[in-house]
């Protein structure tokens, strides 16, 4: 059964710092891994989707990596800004082929001006 873990639960950094958010999963036979952003009281916005055949995916200041062998994914945010403050969730496919996702608990990021 797939389990997804995100550590730390919360992170506070000064503006301008580069940072890494971590996501680990137990079942490495995944098709892809998705990173989402959630602002308080809002829905989830998809940031990046990494296919199992890829090692990295980039969008602007965001770079996500996937290492299936170690069961890990990271989201790298370059030159953080206060507007990056949000909760970041990663999600991996469940162990059955149903389209279901298993979500981590999220990392709440605060970028201080």
Partner 1 sequence: DVKVTQSSRYLVKRTGEKVFLECVQDMDHENMFWYRQDPGLGLRLIYFSYDVKMKEKGDIPEGYSVSREKKERFSLILESASTNQTSMYLCASSFMGSYEQYFGPGTRLTVT
Residue 106 DSSP class = -
Sequence-distant (≥ 6) Cβ neighbours of residue 3 within 8 angstroms? 25, 26, 27, 102
- Please, what is the minimum distance in Å from the beta carbon of residue 3 to partner 1? 11
- Please, what is the minimum distance in Å from the beta carbon of residue 86 to partner 1? 14
Which position among 26, 46, 54, 81 is part of the footprint of partner 1 (CB under 8 A)? 46
Q: CA–CA separation, 51 vs 111, rounded Å?
A: 29
Return the percent helix, strand and coil in the chain, to nearest 5: 5, 55, 40
* Residue number with CB closer to partner 1 (34 or 80): 34
Which position among 75, 91, 109, 111 is part of the footprint of partner 1 (CB under 8 A)? 91
Residue 43 touches partner 1, criterion: CB under 8 A: yes
CA atoms within 13 A on the CB side of 26: 10
For the segment 52-71, give every residue that binds partner 1 (CB under 8 A).
none
Binding site for partner 1 (CB under 8 A): 31-32, 34, 36, 41-46, 49, 89, 91, 93, 98-101, 103-106
């Amino acid at each position: 059964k797939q389990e997804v873990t995100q550590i730390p639960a919360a992170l506070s950094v000064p503006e301008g710092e580069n940072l890494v958010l971590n996501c680990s999963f137990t079942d490495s036979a995944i098709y892809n891994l998705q990173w989402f952003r959630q602002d308080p009281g809002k829905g989830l916005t998809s940031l990046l989707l990494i296919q199992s055949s890829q090692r990295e995916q980039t969008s602007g200041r965001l770079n996500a990596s996937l290492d299936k062998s170690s069961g890990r994914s990271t989201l790298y945010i370059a030159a953080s800004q206060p507007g990056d403050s949000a909760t970041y969730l990663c999600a991996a496919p469940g162990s059955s082929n149903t389209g279901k996702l298993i979500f981590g608990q999220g990392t709440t990021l605060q970028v201080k001006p």
